Amino acid sequence: MLPILIPFLMAILSIINWGNRVLHRFLALAGSVGLLFAALALLTTVNEQGILSSNIGDWPAPFGIVLVADLPAAIMILMAAIVGLAVLVYATASMDKGRERFGYYPLILLLLMGMCGAFLTGDLFNLYVWFEIMLIASFALLALGGSRAQLEGSVKYFALNLLVSAFMLTGIGLLYGMTGSLNLAALAQTLRAAGPEQPVTTVAIFFMIAFGIKAAMFPLYFWLPASYHTPPVAVSAIFAGLLTKVGVFALIRVFTLLFVQDTAWTHGLLLAGAALTMLSGVLGAMAFDDIRRIFAFHIISQIAYMVLGLALFVPMALAGTIFYMVHHILVIVSLFLVSGLIARAGGSYFKAQLGGLYGTRPLLALLFLVPALSLSGVPPLSGFWAKLTLLRVTLAQELWLVAAIALLVGLLTLFSMVRIWLSAFWGPPGPAAASVTPMRAGERRALYGSTLALVTLTLALSLFAGPAFELAERASEQLLDPAGYIAAVLGEGS
Amino acid sequence: MTSIILVVATRLIFPLMLMFSLFLLLRGHDAPGGGFVGGLMAASAFALFALATSVTRARDALRRSTFRLIGIGLLFAFVSGLPGLFAGSPFLRALWTSTELPVIGKLSSVLLFDTGVLLVVVGVTLTIVFAMAEADEEEEE
């Protein structure tokens, strides 16, 4: 419960004191630190005691709304809290006054609240409501500032998300008509008992499309690179790290708990989608000069690895997916924060305008190199372990083509990172370097501090990949064994 | 554009509407009514006031900024969930006091929640109404 309440309370206090920038900053930081502690507490409790559930307003499940905390949800909430804190610290030194006054901080808090809600909810319609909360907050964040490029990106983002809502509601409506319940645990029971005459797979496709768009899967990913690079870094970093992951998480939730009747068809479709997404994402990244756009395309191709793990549908692969999500959240957020630092230190987001940063900013070069190599899967960094697990399962299932694509995409990712490295860090200083103003000490502390913290966490994840992977394995067992989930929500007898 | 009829009528209707809004709020729960309708009623009272006089005077009459109303309303709703939490049951568990008060009946956390809803509805509606009315007034000048 606390992960939702803390950001909510802080956002309320910010709205009461609208326009007070200093107080907003303080409340947002306090809220995200609180969220971090609540998330840690939740993870340890769930780890020790198993799945927890809480009936809101004490209306019993399956009639009331339930919040369920299992290991995957607790892990994701912890990641959201870490990223939220890092981005907010980064924002205190990089956000302009206008955006701060018009509610940047409360909006981020509401976004975090929406995510925690989406991770925790045990009710399908409630999931939709949390998605809408995230959508409203993220739309406002995207449009805040109102430059031409931003509005264009926001309109695309908004239009497509309306479509998602329509698909999702249709799916929810059909499911309710079929089973008479929207409680995830109750649905899992009924759908498992449902005969082949029920159009379960049709409904599953509605959800696949809806969450697939949210997660930026092929062929519905074009909204992401069109919008993510337009807002300031402290906005796009949190979008990049978390928004698409909520889509992936929702996919995992419904395709492990609900739609497992016809896995050859649904998960086969996911597999094909994943392979195509991987390829198109990384090829898209080759075509652009703007560093943020390149990273945005890499999100797409990396998302595909997570979906791949879900599509393979064995414990090992799902554990790989969860590990991959944790790894990718850390890495992609650091890369976006680094892109902001590159622009601050080199004067531009465009590769062609940059150069020679290695000579002037060796620390920044290091901060770029670690997540960049981890993203492309160079051993012994965290990305390597994540990719290795998924690849081994792919090979074990004799999906040679998919394995080949996954390997090729890893190589192309490395190539793309090396190209950024060559143009931004190597060679003579770029033409944009002249416009750079020196950083103040406080600014440097906040910007480098938050990025450094995330990079350190990436390194820690690489070093302690073993224990982290064990946790992911236990989480994947909970996903694949819905009996535990059902028992936690509906009581032991059912 | 000020019409004497409207101004005089507003002076009479405005308090009536606010009282009716309060009535709706307290009548809610088991009978039709509640925070949402009550909020709409109160908001339309202020909207009428703004039409009869001016947005600036309506804002003065409201005393608080509309944003602050939204925030306070959300805070009410938030606080109404806490007693359940402290009583060892889940968040938002509805609790009633055992003593009955005249008119209101049993005090409850539900009433607090509904009051919050009322304030949020007033805040949101008036934010929109005032913004549109101000744009209108600027056009006329």
Per-residue model confidence (pLDDT) at position A270: 83
Task: Write the CB contacts of A467 (distance below 8 Å, at least 6 apart in sequence).
Answer: none
Question: Which residue does chain B place closest to A14, by CA atoms?
Answer: B71
Question: Each residue of A444-479: pLDDT tens digit?
Answer: 777 888 888 888 888 888 888 888 888 888 888 888
pLDDT band at A374 (very low <50, low <70, confident <90, very high): confident
Distances (CA, A) of A392 to A69, A102, A269, A374, A396: 30, 49, 20, 18, 6
Per-residue model confidence (pLDDT) at position A482: 77
Contact between chains at B90 and A1 (C-beta distance less than 8 A) = yes
Closest partner residue to A58 (CB to CB) among B65, B75, B84 is B84
Residues in chain B within 8 Å Cβ distance of A7:
none
And the tokens for B115? 């009051």
Q: Does the pLDDT at position A235 exceed 50?
A: yes
The whole-angstrom distance between residue A366's C-alpha and the CA centroid of its chain comes to 24
Distance CA B22, CA B35 (A): 9
Residues in chain A within 8 Å Cβ distance of B89:
58
In chain A, what percentage of residues exceed pLDDT 70? 92
For range A225-249, the mean pLDDT: 82
Position B136, amino acid: D
pLDDT band at A164 (very low <50, low <70, confident <90, very high): confident
Per-residue model confidence (pLDDT) at position A193: 74
CB B82 within 8 Å of CB B93: no
Question: Which residue does chain A place closest to B93, by CA atoms?
Answer: A57
Closest partner residue to B70 (CB to CB) among A8, A15, A54 is A15
Residues in chain B within 8 Å Cβ distance of A8:
74, 78
Q: Which of A249-253, B47-51, B57-61 has the lowest mean pLDDT?
A: B57-61
Closest by Cα among A37, A4, A1 to A110: A4
Question: Each residue of B86-136: pLDDT tens digit?
Answer: 665 566 666 665 566 555 556 667 778 888 888 888 888 888 888 888 777
Which is more confidently placed, A305 or A346? A305
Q: Does the pLDDT at position A269 exceed 70?
A: yes
Backbone phi, psi, residue A121, to 5°: -65, 145
Interface test with B, best of A16, A67, A107, A116 (most B CBs within 10 A): A16
Contact between chains at A57 and B85 (C-beta distance less than 8 A) = no
For range A159-183, the mean pLDDT: 85
Per-residue model confidence (pLDDT) at position A264: 73
Q: Where are the domains of chain A?
A: 2-490
Q: Helical H runs in B28-108?
A: 35-52, 55-62, 66-86
In chain A, what percentage of residues exceed pLDDT 90? 0
Residues in chain B within 8 Å Cβ distance of A16:
67-68, 71-72, 75
Q: Does the pLDDT at position A17 exceed 70?
A: no
Residues of B with CB under 8 A from a CB of A: 65, 67-68, 70-72, 74-75, 78, 84-85, 89-94
Interface test with B, best of A58, A66, A123 (most B CBs within 10 A): A58
For range A97-114, the mean pLDDT: 80
Structural domain containing residue B120: 4-140
Question: Which residue does chain A place closest to B110, by CA atoms?
Answer: A57
Question: Each residue of A282-311: pLDDT tens digit?
Answer: 888 887 888 888 888 888 888 888 888 888
Distance CA A3, CA A43 (A): 11
A62/chain B closest Cα distance in angstroms: 15
Per-residue model confidence (pLDDT) at position A74: 87
Contact between chains at B65 and A54 (C-beta distance less than 8 A) = no
Question: Each residue of A127-151: pLDDT tens digit?
Answer: 898 888 888 888 888 877 767 777 8
And the tokens for A39? 């998330």
Residues in chain A within 8 Å Cβ distance of B109:
none
CB A107 within 8 Å of CB A99: no
Task: Write the CB contacts of A419 (distance below 8 Å, at least 6 apart in sequence).
Answer: A351
Contact between chains at A13 and B89 (C-beta distance less than 8 A) = no
Q: Does the pLDDT at position A494 exceed 50?
A: no
For range A40-61, the mean pLDDT: 76
Parallel, antiparallel, or unpaired for β A52-55 and A66-69? Answer: antiparallel
Per-residue model confidence (pLDDT) at position A115: 87
pLDDT band at A489 (very low <50, low <70, confident <90, very high): confident
Per-residue model confidence (pLDDT) at position A197: 62
Per-residue model confidence (pLDDT) at position A493: 47
Q: Does the pLDDT at position A57 exceed 70?
A: no
Contact between chains at B92 and A57 (C-beta distance less than 8 A) = yes
Q: How many domains does chain B have?
A: 1
Closest partner residue to A15 (CB to CB) among B67, B85, B91 is B67
Question: Which residue does chain B place closest to A10, by CA atoms?
Answer: B75
Closest partner residue to A57 (CB to CB) among B70, B74, B90 is B90
Query: Hey, is B42 helix, strand or coil?
Result: helix
For range A429-456, the mean pLDDT: 76
Interface A-B: count of C-beta contacts within 8 A: 47
Q: Does the pLDDT at position B13 exceed 80?
A: yes
SS3 content of chain A, % helix, strand, coil (to 5): 80, 5, 20
The chain-wide mean pLDDT, for chain A, equals 80
Q: Does the pLDDT at position A177 exceed 80?
A: yes
Task: Write the CB contacts of B138 (distance below 8 Å, at least 6 apart in sequence).
Answer: none
Query: Hey, is B53 helix, strand or coil?
Result: coil
Per-residue model confidence (pLDDT) at position B129: 86
Question: Which residue does chain A place closest to B68, by CA atoms?
Answer: A16
Residues in chain A within 8 Å Cβ distance of B72:
16
Position A125, amino acid: F
Per-residue model confidence (pLDDT) at position A46: 82
Residues in chain A within 8 Å Cβ distance of B117:
none
Distances (CA, A) of B68 to A32, A46, A103, A200, B37: 23, 38, 13, 47, 20
Q: Which of A48-57, A113-122, B45-54 has the lowest mean pLDDT?
A: A48-57
Question: Each residue of A355-371: pLDDT tens digit?
Answer: 777 777 778 888 888 88
Task: Write the CB contacts of A288 (distance below 8 Å, at least 6 apart in sequence).
Answer: A225, A294, A297
Closest partner residue to B72 (CB to CB) among A8, A16, A55 is A16
CB B55 within 8 Å of CB B137: yes
Q: Does the pLDDT at position B76 exceed 70?
A: yes
In chain B, what percentage of residues exceed pLDDT 90? 1
Per-residue model confidence (pLDDT) at position A227: 76
Closest by Cα among A115, A69, A106, A61 to A88: A106
